[in-house]
Chains A and B, each alone.
Chain A
Amino acid sequence: MRILNCPLNGERNIAEFSYGGEFHRMPEPSNCESASWAEYVFFHDNEAGIVTEWWYHNATSYWFLAERNTITDEIIRTFPASDIFSDRVDFGDDTGSGTK
């Protein structure tokens, strides 16, 4: 069983975690093209190579991100979500002022 290095709990069997899907940034929901919204919601990249994924440590309810090579299944690094999401996100009104 693969070992996953949780940024909070250290090295653990991967059975302690849940896979949370590919990491994607949400397009501006109020004014992006319908096609790009559909792409975001319904399509997976399913890339062969190094991808960024959400992972969740079940016992601590802790979300984090991992870079994984989908060809070799090697986990390259793991890091807290706050490395990417450092600032508060707000949504504009329907006219679409964009995310901050």
Chain B
Amino acid sequence: MPSTNRLPAPYGLLLDRDNPIAFSFENKRYQGIAGDSIASALAANDRWLLSRSFKYHRPRSILTMAGQDANTLVQLPADPNVLADREPVVTDMEVRGQNYSGSLDRDRDALIERFSKFLPVGFYYKAFFRPRGIWEMWARLIRQKAGLGVVDQSHEPDYFDKQYLFYDVVVVGAGPAGMEAALRAADSGCEVLLLDENPVLGGSLNYARLDVEGQRARNLRTTMIADVEANSRIDVMVDTVCNGWFADNWLPLIRGRRLYKVRARETILCVGSMEQHAVFRNNDLPGIMMSSAAQRLMHLYAVRPGRAAVVLAGNNDAYGVALDLLDAGVDVKRIVDLREDPHYDDIARSVIARNIAVTDGHAVYAALPDPKTGHLGSVDIRKIVSDGVCGGKGEIIECDLLCMAAGYTPTYQLICQAGGQLDYDDDKSSFTLTKLPVSCQIAGSVTGTWSIDSVIAEAGHAGTVAGNATGAVQQHISLEQPENDADNVNLPWPIFPHPDGKEFVDFDEDLQIADILNAVGDGYEHLQLVKRYSTSGMGPSQGRHSALATARLVARATNKTIASTGVSTARPPFVAERLAHSAGRSFYPARRSNMHYRHLEAGAQMLHAGAWYRPAYYGPKESRVDAIRSEVSNVRNNVGLVDVSTLGGIEVRGADAGEFLNRIYTFNFAKQPVGRARYALLTNEAGTVIDDGVACRIHEHHYYVTATTGGVDRVYQSMLKWNAQWRLDVDIANVSSALCGVNIAGPKARRVLEALCPDVDLSAAAFPYMGVREGSVAGLPARLIRVGFVGELGYEIHVPQHFGEALWDALLTAGSEHKIAPFGIEAQRVLRLEKGHIIIGQDTDAMSHPMEVQMGWAVSHKKPFFVGKRTIAELEKKQQKRRLVGFVINDPNAPIPLESHLVLDGEEMVGRVTSCEYSPTLDKPVGLAYAQPSKTESGSKIVIKSTGGTRVPADIVDLPFYDPDNRRQQL
């Protein structure tokens, strides 16, 4: 059985009548047709009430049929706040209303409306702030009532992704202007993308009436779409929203589950205009809609919007709507023309010729609900006496449909984001847009151009300008400036206050005329403040239907012009956007050493260090503490192997290599012998310690410098920046990734290596501590550095990256008889702490200078320059405020302090703990802390505020804690 309000073909451009769709709304089954939106399918079944308003729970229905209001927000099982007038209905869809208590039709919360007098604008701000703290109680109640839909917390993530697109010209909006602009741009030979948020091309040609016969729009549509589709240079994307305009024509487009990031040389925004409602009492009743909404219902969805209609005319478009209604069998009871002395066009004259009653100079003063259904039952029309003032007596006209044709506002959002300025044209009573960037044009009704011929001329001009501007022009096309014969479509003041109120300015937020005026009265005169105080334009439709009326009211109340009042900033996104679209695929770069899988195979627990995976310790999580202690003790007693591939490595080569290092690092490298390594401390211009490593002199003019895992990129960048200024004869290359490295450390390290390095004399005399050698390890080309980070005899071995796993295997095999075992970062941290070595970034902060961290020895004052030199010299003149010291905790029952626990002097904070670990070697906790300079002598005592506030006494000792004579590392 056909649905009550369904019109016959050819009505229903979007419908596929062979495909019926059954779905439910509020648990009741309905029959729709493929192509229907949820709202149109329900309207076809005479189901108009869709939602309850945000504040007063008033019944709401279709207003724009274009997604420009919050009236149609419904709940789907997985998605709240879905626009029912945009969302296609699909088989077995379960749709529910939202924001009601009980049932949608009988919402218990509708009682709130009775108290509306007591809920003035700014109510929350005024009501719930006293006494102090009372808000917390109210908030719970209010929040239960606030908000609209319900989030599905069992939702499983879907596959969303992104794609870049590149075009010469992108045209947003595929109405007559957009299609013409695209065609003319393509004429020049460039690549064009034409996109539209609707499922079909055509824009207003799909539903508007351009002539008495109702043929022109249809014919034009057919021709233009055929031309676009035949043009190989035009790509078309429908069901696609351009959700913002960003610098240099960077456009985010959303279609389905993909976000397209489009770079266009030129953009043409043919985004059209949004019809505006008239403001009068009960203007929100179901049955009252924009005239374009009625046309969309009829032409796109074959839905008869009502049985008996009144058309409120602010312009001649109203008469086209009246003709459409008549054609669809609707009884047009009256055309109420707001204009005193209307200038009729052919269509209007033809309507009058059909004996449709027209009342000029009148307004709908109030709408009245049908007491049984709550739907529109009649309108009270009255003569307009002056701006916004109606006569005392009215005429009641019964109707179930009121179409409002009160005017338009340009779809300004993207244009303002592009830098366009919104002005107000007092003659046209309309917003206008100017001052766009040169590579961004606008055309069509968004510019205020209204007749179809002018629109096409203007859009064609824009298309040709854009095509010519892209440069890739096969054909430069000469231009004539089009003329604009725009008629006036806007009224200056379609706003009619009523003593009983309920003349809604913003439907989303239930804001009436008085609310806006009271906001101004409360002192919020600037539009941005009115918005935030009243919440006008802050609802889901973001001012699409309320901005113009709000601006008019505020302008009049503050005696300003509408142009200077303006609208609030329209930031991206243009429509609500899923976080999944912004997120897309998750790209978290992960870096792995060549030995990565060997760590996993050995049972390592991996941790993240920046993008790197590093082994923390080897063994199950529950035996973490034991694993770390046994790794530490194996290094102290036998030999351990740690993957240091993540360390930075920078080659510095050239005649000025030594000079360059002298300028970059604090130490002096000029006299460093070839084949030796030297500690390298890096400070920035503020004298702060920012990195460290060792500098190995491979050749007179070749140093290999290591840097920390997290610091190397910054160090490398900074080196390049300095030499871009100094222009020394030096080449700087970051080879961090090119090398895999291990540190083999422990008293038996040499014995392991001896079996693998036939070509390097490993004896202490030939290859001493801080020596550097090149040779082979297990047949692999290697660079060996004798280092002491963990305080034992140790060699860092660096090999080309792809040999990493082979090196690891060879060392473990050769070391098995010496009880070699891998150790992780956790053990390494303990080992280095026992040895008193600092970790930059852990034991230093943004203020740490070398003297504070007991690194004065690493600073050469004799050099004419190094990056931090002048500041360090200045700092040395000042009294030190803190110093990094080593401490031990001798009380075995004290809680072990954690990093950032405070060092106290009485109750005063004087420093903090930077590292603290239980030392298996010393069998007590050891740590580093900043303390007052008076407490840095060995034997001093400090107090640490540990976990739970416990004061833990700690004894200052000289560093290192372990092997102070460095005998072990120099074996």
Contacts and interface: CB of A to CB of B under 8 A. Distances in A.
So, do A and B actually touch in the complex, CB under 8 Å? yes
Interface of A: 1-3, 13, 18, 20, 29-30, 32, 34, 37-38, 40-42, 54, 56, 61, 63, 73, 81-82, 85-89, 91-94
Contact of A1 (B248, B734, B874): B248
Given A30-B865, A41-B686, A85-B725, A61 B248 contact: no
A30 B869 CA distance: 9
Contacts of B131: none
Interface stretch (B110-118, B310-318, B714-722, B831-839): B714-722
A89 B720 contact: no
Interface bin, chain B: 20 to 34
Nearest to A97: B864
B864 A42 contact: no
B126 interface: no
Contacts of A88: 726-728
Contact of B248 (A3, A18, A32, A81): A3
B871 interface: yes
Contacts of B686: 41-42
Contacts of B720: 61, 63
Interface string B892-913: 0000000000000000000000
B724 interface: yes
Given A3-B248, A29-B870, A61-B717, A91 B727 contact: no
Given A1-B248, A94-B864, A85 B724 contact: yes
A41 B685 contact: yes
A62 to B, nearest CB: 8
12 contacts: A29-B870, A30-B864, A30-B870, A32-B870, A34-B874, A41-B871, A61-B720, A63-B721, A63-B724, A85-B726, A85-B727, A92-B864
Given A29-B865, A94-B864, A61 B874 contact: no
Nearest to A86: B727
Contacts of B717: 18, 56, 61
B246 interface: yes
A61 B734 contact: yes
B11 interface: no
Interface in B847-876: 864-865, 869-871, 874
A81 B250 contact: no
B721 A56 contact: yes
B864 A2 contact: no
A53 to B, nearest CB: 12
B765 interface: no
A93 B864 contact: yes
A81 B871 contact: no
B246 A37 contact: no
B1 interface: no
B247 interface: yes
Interface in B687-725: 716-717, 720-721, 724-725
Interface in B235-268: 246-248, 250, 263
B869 A29 contact: yes
B261 to A, nearest CB: 8
B725 to A, nearest CB: 5
A91 B728 CA distance: 12
Given A30-B870, A61-B716, 16 more contacts: A3-B247, A3-B248, A13-B250, A54-B721, A56-B717, A61-B734, A63-B720, A82-B727, A85-B724, A85-B727, A86-B727, A87-B727, A88-B728, A91-B864, A92-B864, A94-B864
B753 to A, nearest CB: 35
Contact of B247 (A29, A61, A63, A73): A73
A27 to B, nearest CB: 9
Contact of B865 (A3, A61, A86, A91): A91
A22 to B, nearest CB: 13
A1 B725 contact: no
Contact of B246 (A1, A32, A42, A85): A1
A32 B874 CA distance: 12
B723 to A, nearest CB: 9
Contacts of A61: 716-717, 720, 734
A16 to B, nearest CB: 13
Interface of B: 246-248, 250, 263, 663, 685-686, 716-717, 720-721, 724-728, 734, 864-865, 869-871, 874
Contacts of B869: 29
Nearest to B721: A63
A2 B245 CA distance: 11
Contacts of B874: 34, 37-38
Contacts of B727: 82, 85-89
The 7 closest A-B pairs by CB, nearest first: A91-B865, A81-B724, A2-B247, A29-B870, A1-B250, A3-B248, A91-B864
A88 B663 CA distance: 14
A37 B867 CA distance: 12
Given A1-B246, A37-B874, A41-B686, A81 B864 contact: no
Contacts of A93: 864
A41 B721 CA distance: 16
Nearest to B865: A91
B623 to A, nearest CB: 42
A84 to B, nearest CB: 8
Nearest to B861: A94
Given A61-B717, A63-B721, A85-B727, A37 B871 contact: yes
A20 B720 CA distance: 12
Contacts of B716: 61
Contacts of A42: 686
Nearest to B728: A88
A82 B727 CA distance: 9
B846 to A, nearest CB: 12
Nearest to B725: A85
Contacts of B248: 1-3
A96 to B, nearest CB: 9
Nearest to B732: A61
A85 B685 CA distance: 19
A23 to B, nearest CB: 10
Nearest to B727: A88
Contacts of B870: 29-30, 32, 37
B711 to A, nearest CB: 15
Nearest to B250: A1
A65 to B, nearest CB: 9
A56 B250 CA distance: 22
A4 to B, nearest CB: 9
A37 to B, nearest CB: 5
A66 B773 CA distance: 44
Please indicate which of the listed interface residues A29, A37, A82, A88 has the most CB atoms of chain B within 10 Å of its own CB. A29
A88 B728 CA distance: 6
A89 B864 contact: no
A88 B874 CA distance: 27
Nearest to B656: A88
Nearest to A80: B724
Contacts of B721: 20, 54, 56, 63
A27 B912 CA distance: 36
Nearest to A27: B870
B936 to A, nearest CB: 27
A38 B687 CA distance: 11
Contacts of B725: 81, 85, 89
A46 to B, nearest CB: 18
Contacts of B663: 91
Contacts of A3: 247-248, 263
A1 B870 CA distance: 40
Contacts of A73: 247
Contacts of A41: 685-686, 871
A1 B720 CA distance: 27
A53 B182 CA distance: 39
Nearest to A88: B727
Contacts of A94: 864
A34 B877 CA distance: 12
Nearest to A65: B724
